[in-house]
Amino acid sequence: MAFNDIRRQRFLSAAHAEEFDADLKRRIESDLQTLAEEDLAQRARRSFAWSVASDSFERLILHYTAGKPVQDLKLELPSVITLFDAFVPVDKPRPNEAYALEITQLEAYVYVLWLLALCKLLGHDVLIPKIIEWIDRNAERNRGRDGLFESVVQKLLVENKQPERVLLHPDAYRSLARATVSAPEERPGLIEEFLDGWYRQMKPCYWHGTHTDKEGSSYFGYWAFEAALVTVLWDIDDSSYRDHLVYPKDLVDWYRSQASVAPENTPPRTPAGQSCPKEGWWFTPAAAGSRRHFEQGEIMPEVQSDYGSTFWQWDSDQSGPKL
């Protein structure tokens, strides 16, 4: 099939897709070699670690834009999360530094929502607590300050907290936030309103306008993954906006198709303190790295966290840990 028939946005040519993909791959490999140097200064190490993580993320999105099968993207995502995990500092970051993933900055806010969206849409729920863990390392500046973010986290982690009613980036995200609290029949119109203004509101982001570069373009795609995330979390009918230029409908369709074919014998979410209904691999959104194997009848433990009661979920991937 011709490239123009499989690409998901018209701004991407076959030549640019191939050239930019190769360039990102080369940069990632080069930066990983630099990071392996033991005498690399800490500031430089953070800079190179960010470059590796963000370049890998851009490459994943480029692959989606170029028409790569969603199943292939599902296989790519865990390595991207691993690279971001290596970048996020273990100590409390200083404010206003890019590597802090501080969501008061629009670019960081967008990145975090995109990462959460792709984990959910590509069936990697088990990775979501890891992203929240990064944000919580700078909780003073990140948590309890944005209603949309808190509502999304509440849905993802099955929390019962009352989300904030203020927004850090109201001009860009007011319509999307309203879609999470409005009546079901009003939600599609609000999502469409958000999509119509999305590209214009993203002007402060470094990737805005890259499709117009004549040479050396760094365009990897323009996608409102956050709109897709809200669509699936609030189970919104996307028929009125699914063909919008920046709406990643193929991801939503794939996610919903996977949900519809889930095995009938998939056990339900099980609260801590109850016995495991089925032997296998489970995880809880309450904690990163919680995936573990339970025997049927084994009591499922409580996990100490700030996210309320612990519920264990059956992992769709029942393979053992990779050595």
Asked if residue 252 and residue 306 are part of one domain, the reply reads: no
Q: Is residue 215 part of a domain?
A: yes
Residues 296 and 233 in one domain: no
Domain edge (last residue) among 260, 287, 308: 260
Residue 45 belongs to what domain range?
3-260
Q: State whether 207 and 280 are in the same domain.
A: no
Give tens-digit pLDDT for 190-241: 999 999 999 999 999 999 999 988 766 899 999 999 999 999 999 999 999 9
Residues 18 and 116 in one domain: yes
Counted domains in the chain: 2
Q: What angle do CA 269, 250, 317 make, to 5 degrees?
A: 35
pLDDT digit string (tens) for 21-67?
999 999 999 999 999 999 999 889 888 999 999 999 999 999 999 99
pTM above 0.75, yes or no: yes
Q: CA-CA distance, 260 to 226, in Å (whole number)?
A: 22
Same domain, 192 and 50: yes
Same domain, 151 and 112: yes
d(CA 87, CA 83): 6
Q: Does any domain span residue 323?
A: no
Alpha carbons 241 and 248: distance in angstroms, whole number: 10
Query: What CA–CA distance (Å, rounded) separates 111 from 321?
Result: 28
Burial tier of 134 (Cβ tally within 10 Å: 0-12, 13-18, 19+): buried
Element (H, E) at 63: helix 42-65
- Same domain? For 50 and 162 the reply is yes
Q: Within a 10 A sphere around the Cβ of 56, how many other Cβ atoms?
A: 23
d(CA 270, CA 161): 20
Q: Are 303 and 294 in contact (CB under 8 A)?
A: no
Least confident interval from 232-236, 243-247, 308-312: 308-312
Residues 29 and 174 occupy one common structural domain: yes
